[in-house]
Structure 1
Amino acid sequence: MLISTKGRYALRVMIDLAEHQIEGYIPLKEVARRQDISEKYLESIVKLLVKANLLSGLRGKGGGYKLTKSPDLYTVGGILRLTEDSLAPVSCIDQGPESCPHMAECRTLAMWQGLAKIINEYLDGITITDLMKSGTAGDFYVI
């Protein structure tokens, strides 16, 4: 599993909008400037977030984007599942039982399924609010 720039930037957009939510609708140009990300690239990411109803948009003067709900209701897992093709560590986990003719006797399947469960539970346990509060990479390290 490799998280793309789309997934990483989507998280940065969500955190930025959450940090500035009292300002109402935030122009994408401001988010792009603060995050040092191409506005054109952010447009495609924001379109995906709006389509999934994670953000709402308003056109025209005073327009921009804002969260549709409180930052503590958005999980990292939910956002990444939207932006990434998969969070599975191996392709057969996502494709179902008919994807691999060796699945019935696969000695590693249970291990991959366990890893997928750990990944999803970990990412679903972190909210945008958590990321707003985090100060160091060690904030989310779990043994």
Structure 2
Amino acid sequence: MISTKGRYALRFMIDLAEQSTESPVPLDEAAGRQGISKKYLEIVVKILVKGKLVKGTSGKGGGYRLTRSPKEYTVGEILELTEGTLASVACLVNEAELCPRKAVCKTLPMWIKFDSVVHDFFFHITLSDLVEGKV
């Protein structure tokens, strides 16, 4: 299940993409438009800045902006940055310990297929698709 953090990150990124301006978008304005607490959004934005998905400018006229075009972001990368892995079971997480039941696990093929569907779904939707209502 996608947490509030992931959902708010997507809403914030959409808000930035919709502002079609070169000027940074003040956090309090985006928070107000999206109905998100500024304090909570600060936590989310810190993750997005650290992941280099947005860039912040401080001082008068400061705010945030995307680091690249909305069509260059996928929902999958935004969710993985804010949520961590999208893997459905622990044995499919990157760098997970090798499961001792892997060779005999009857459910592993199902989880692999499910994770593939989830990955393909989220990594084929761009921020631009969301802004333009193409989903």
Compute the TM-score of the two structures, normalised by the length of structure 1. Answer: 0.89
> Percent identity among equivalent residues?
53
Match of residue 107 from structure 1: 106
Match of residue 132 from structure 1: 131
SS in 1 for 2:97: helix
Alpha-carbon spacing, 1:111–1:67, altered in 2? closer, same or farther (3 Å): same
8 Å CA contact 1:14, 1:67 repeated in 2: yes
Q: How does 1:5-20 map to 2 (within 5 A)?
A: 5-20=4-19
SS in 2 for 1:9: helix
C-alpha distance in structure 2 between counterparts of 1:82 and 1:6, whole Å? 10
Match of residue 87 from structure 1: 86
Q: How does 1:1-143 map to 2 (within 5 A)?
A: 2-22=1-21, 24-94=23-93, 98-134=97-133, 140=135
Alpha-carbon spacing, 1:127–1:92, altered in 2? closer, same or farther (3 Å): same
8 Å CA contact 2:90, 2:96 repeated in 1: no
SS in 2 for 1:21: coil
- Residue 127 of structure 1 and its aligned partner are, at CA, apart by 0.4
- Residue 97 of structure 1 and its aligned partner are, at CA, apart by 6.3
C-alpha distance in structure 1 between counterparts of 2:32 and 2:120, whole Å? 33
Name whichever structure is richer in helix by fraction: 1
C-alpha distance in structure 2 between counterparts of 1:97 and 1:27, whole Å? 40
8 Å CA contact 2:71, 2:127 repeated in 1: yes
C-alpha distance in structure 2 between counterparts of 1:50 and 1:108, whole Å? 38
CA RMSD after TM alignment: 1.4
Compute the TM-score of the two structures, normalised by the length of structure 2. Answer: 0.94
- Aligned length in residues: 135
SS in 2 for 1:25: coil
C-alpha distance in structure 1 between counterparts of 2:95 and 2:52, whole Å? 28
Segments of structure 1 that go 5 or more residues without pairing to the other structure are none
C-alpha distance in structure 1 between counterparts of 2:113 and 2:79, whole Å? 19
